[in-house]
Amino acid sequence: MAVKPLLSVPREVKAGVPFEVRILIQHPMETGFRRDAVGGVIARDIIHTFECSVDGEEVFAARLEPAIAAKPYLAFSARLERSGTMLLRWVDDHGVEAQERVDIRVV
Amino acid sequence: MSTSAWCRALVLLLAALPAAAQERRSGYDDAGPQVRAMQDDDMANPAFLWVQQGEVLWERRVGEAGKSCADCHGAVSEMRGVAARFPEFDAARGRVVTLEQRVNVCRTDFQGAPALAPESDALLGITALVGLQSRGMPVAVEVSGAAAEAVARGEAFFRLRQGQLNLSCAQCHDQLAGQSLAGSRIPQGHPNGYPIYRLEWQGMGSLHRRLRACLVGVRAEPLGRDDALLGDLELYLAARAAGLKVETPGVRP
Amino acid sequence: MRRRSFVVMAGAAAMLPLGARAKPEEVEALVRAITGGVPARPGRVKLDVPELVENGNTVGLTVSLGEDVPKDAVLTDIHVFADGNPRPGVVHFRFGKLAGVPKVATRVRLATSQTVTAVAVFADGSCWTDQVGVLVTWSACLD
């Protein structure tokens, strides 16, 4: 079952005032450095790319390495002058792409 | 009796109790600031990924009966207090039933669905969700009547020296609790946060998974998932933790 | 080789992850690749990571800017490196046009006690760094 991330984004913000975005994603972030019970290498499977934008304009992006903990957590800040749709998008080593959209109203 | 005589009697009584009974400390109190911060903030606690999954499953109709948890129990908030009194002695079955086992009784007997696999995300999700409803309530299991013998069996197991290291649970978690072992403070070993997100596991696990790791740690034979003694031990641990607040879903190192 | 020393070495090898451990020189080389050959200056960026870690699997890490940053300085990138992990790279953050407060928090893995380095890159091309030495303890009850 696809598990939704824990996502904290305000639905209403003030123009030009920074606000925090937090996300916690269900992903093992398998490092590729571990071995299984019979000695085989467990293949690397990490979320390597994370991007956050509003109506195509970049807020924040991250290139993640295996050194990012399981259930990756990111907290960053954004600042908007006008209302828009925030897109949070991430891709893992299996090519699995997930995204969340949040409409944010600037008041 | 005068006030000072009462005080003296109370002091004598407290001195007679084992250390753990005098001041119960949750494993939360022995964890570092980072671990506590993760548990304090539901948005930062990875266990809520499982809680969220549990919320979906609570409403999902399954099995031959086509019933969801909600169809019988209503909103999950109706489960407030349930986890605080689990595990419980089930007179009809003549054994202790843990919350995980109770969820699977619902699955097989009332929903007509296969039991959820031990340590599966689904079972952890539902038990975390149900446990969360009792968060902040004191652990208060039934220990009288038919349960008393089970508690006694659990306590006997807790005090039994076993394994190649020849250690009992009590030696570490009663007598040496609060002292250091390698880089960690030895906790009193209370079950009030389960299921937990454990950094060591990089995942979620039940109390059974933790107990299994303890027993393997002292090189003893772990208790099987369906061993009645496991229920006895979990019941004794809950009785021993009486009054501590439920923290489910907890975070531990 | 005497039996006992062999057992000790085998045990130590089993603890290591696959592959070699990163070296401080590797981190230095990666930092120089960002700065264009010059060493990054200490200052302006602040790396918060606990100096004593209970479990290296999940370590909270925050990077923010110090009070010595000029008001008009624009942060574009932050790189984080760890010289004792199997690979030195930890994460690279990029801050876009709609970025708010120049601060980001995540959780990292630290395989052992080591030095963590953050490098902040500003729009004017200047690079600033902060380092923290972290002591990673092992839990007594691994499983």
Assess if residue C142 is contained within a domain.
no
CA distance B247 to B98: 17
Q: Is the distance from CB of B163 to CB of B218 less than 8 angstroms?
A: yes
pLDDT tens digits for range B25-75: 999 999 989 999 999 999 999 999 999 999 999 999 999 999 999 999 999
Assess if residue A1 is contained within a domain.
no
The pLDDT value recorded for residue B4 is 54
**Structural domains in chain C (count):** 1
For position A39, which CATH number holds?
Answer: 2.60.40.10
Assess if residue C141 is contained within a domain.
no
Instruction: Provide mean pLDDT across the span A45-59.
Output: 97
Give A17 to chain C, closest Cα distance, Å: 8
For position C71, which CATH number holds?
Answer: 2.60.40.2470
DSSP character string of A14-81: -TT--EEEEEE-----B-S--B-TTSPBPPPB-EEEEEEEETTEEEEEEEE-TTBPSS-EEEEEE--S
List CB contacts of C47: < 8 A, sequence separation 6 or more. C61, C62, C63, C80, C116, C117, C118, C130, C131, C132
Determine the Cα angle at B216 with ends B203 and C113, to 5°.
55
Instruction: Pick the residue of A6, A20, A68, A74 with the most B CBs within 10 A to test the interface with B by mutation.
Output: A6
Assess if residue A64 is contained within a domain.
yes
Residue A18 belongs to domain spanning: 6-106
Helix ranges (H only) for B137-186 are 147-159, 169-170
pLDDT tens digits for range B198-225: 999 999 999 999 999 999 999 999 998 8
Known active-site residue B214: yes
CA distance C92 to C117: 12
Assess if residue C83 is contained within a domain.
yes
Assess if residue C80 is contained within a domain.
yes
Q: Is the pLDDT of residue B237 over 80?
A: yes
Residue C94 belongs to domain spanning: 3-136
pLDDT tens digits for range C28-49: 999 999 999 888 899 999 999 9
Q: Measured between CB atoms, does C62 come within 8 Å of chain B? A: no
The pLDDT confidence band at residue B23, using thresholds 50, 70 and 90, is confident
Assess if residue A38 is contained within a domain.
yes
Chain B residue closest in CA terms to C140: B182
Chain A residue closest in CA terms to C57: A69
A3 and B53 within 8 Å at the Cβ level: the answer is yes
CA distance A34 to A40: 8
- Interface predicted TM-score (ipTM) over 0.90: yes
Assess if residue C143 is contained within a domain.
no
Domains and CATH numbers, chain B: 27-252 (1.10.760.10)
Give B239 to chain C, closest Cα distance, Å: 24
**Structural domains in chain A (count):** 1
CA distance B249 to B204: 9
Question: Can you tell me whether residue B138 is helix, strand or coil?
Answer: strand
